Structure 1
């Protein structure tokens, strides 16, 4: 989905020569704490991404935390993030930058970044179009994320059900007793319930099932 967003930016924003996505790769209490990047093997975008990570600052990072687009009309004249801007001038031909937050349903997924080889590339109309694109893109990413989470939940439910069935058949216990055994194993080992079930499935393929816990 993020690759599609990046492609749509290049197609729908003629002023953009390059596009990348800054991604939220880690959260704490719902807030982004670690950022990654997606540039589809574009060397220019990869260079700009690398410079942002090297200096831990720049418009692509700032856009993740704010609702208004972050626009750099002339990289060579920009006084914010001076080290990053100087490095971009030295290592790339990019002279204009614009980053827009990707957020939907109360969750920030990252930022859409577009770059141009000449200064003052992004006029008001282009900015408005980019914001509309980012809004629709964020909704699409949110929907894809929810679908992925739902699929993982269904897979986890099926896995837990399979292991409960194994325990019920092995020890002639009911559903609630089997779940209680799995919950206790999870708590005692400090391992997630799904991981406990995965370990039991793997063990069952090679050894006899473990004995039930003493009450």
Structure 2
């Protein structure tokens, strides 16, 4: 077997192990923590890692491996320029070897260098046409990342995006099931208390939701939590 073939096989095994680890995490936060930890462990020269998560048009940093990540990311958000901003907006991978001299980011570049960050890699995290955010890798060395590192990191970012969207779907499904169950419990309480059928009980919940300007699930949760108090009143 050639050295190149052996290297590809090793990369495939590594990525498979990482994918299984990420998919085994119990929730979104745990998946995010596993992604950034694996990024620092797996991508050569990456000394810091974090994820810029895109939510309802806003970007926030989640699970940074060090406080430095929060500082560098916050600079980007405030200055509205930098690698994670461009990776998300332009749908591209950003690699810079000396950010302090990077002409694209005249304000962010020098500020990042002053905080000890000189090299960076930012990958758009996406599945199909949905952008989840960006995976950001930082180094305190100039020219820390090469072509091979960028390509290997891109494969890792792909696995990370798949794991993240899977965790988000699981979380949304769990919320949906929980919401359905609490509404069903609330309807049962109303049916017993007022001797009404399922449709009438649901209509009562809807009317309460509209009159209080609260979501239906919250009205149902309040009724379930306060059933004893409501019964005695």
TM-score range, shorter chain: 0.7 to 0.9
- Alpha-carbon RMSD across the aligned residues, in angstroms, is 1.8
Which residue pairs with 1:213 in the alignment? Answer: none
The structure in which a higher percent of residues are helix is 2
Check conservation: 1:185, 1:196, Cα contact below 8 A. yes
> Matched residues in 2 for 1:120 and 1:167: separation?
67
Conserved? CA contact 1:37–1:49, under 8 Å? yes
Q: Provide the residue aligned with 1:113 in structure 2.
A: 136
What are the within-5 Å matches in structure 2 for residues 1-215 of structure 1?
1-24=31-54, 26-27=55-56, 33-40=57-64, 42-92=66-116, 94-208=117-231
- Once residues 162 and 155 of structure 2 are traced to their aligned partners in structure 1, the CA distance between those partners, rounded to angstroms, is 11
Alpha carbons of structure 1 residues 97 and 136: separation in structure 2 relative to 1, 3 Å: same
Q: Quote the Cα distance in structure 2 between the aligned partners of 1:208 and 1:127.
A: 63
TM-superposed CA distance for 1:16, in Å, is: 1.3
* Equivalent position SS for 1:208: helix
- Quickly say closer, same or farther: Cα 1:150–1:196, change in 2 above 3 A: same
* Runs (5+) with no aligned partner, structure 1: 28-32, 211-215
CA distance in 2, matches of 1:39, 1:82: 27
* C-alpha distance in 2 between matches for 1:64 and 1:205: 50
How many residue pairs get aligned? The number is 203
Unpaired runs of 5+ residues, structure 2, are 1-30
Instruction: Please report the TM-score for the alignment, with normalisation by the length of structure 1.
Output: 0.87
- Which of structure 1's runs of 4+ aligned residues deviate more than 4 A? none
SS at match of 2:230: coil
State the alpha-carbon separation in 2 of the partners of residues 165 and 6 from structure 1.
Answer: 45
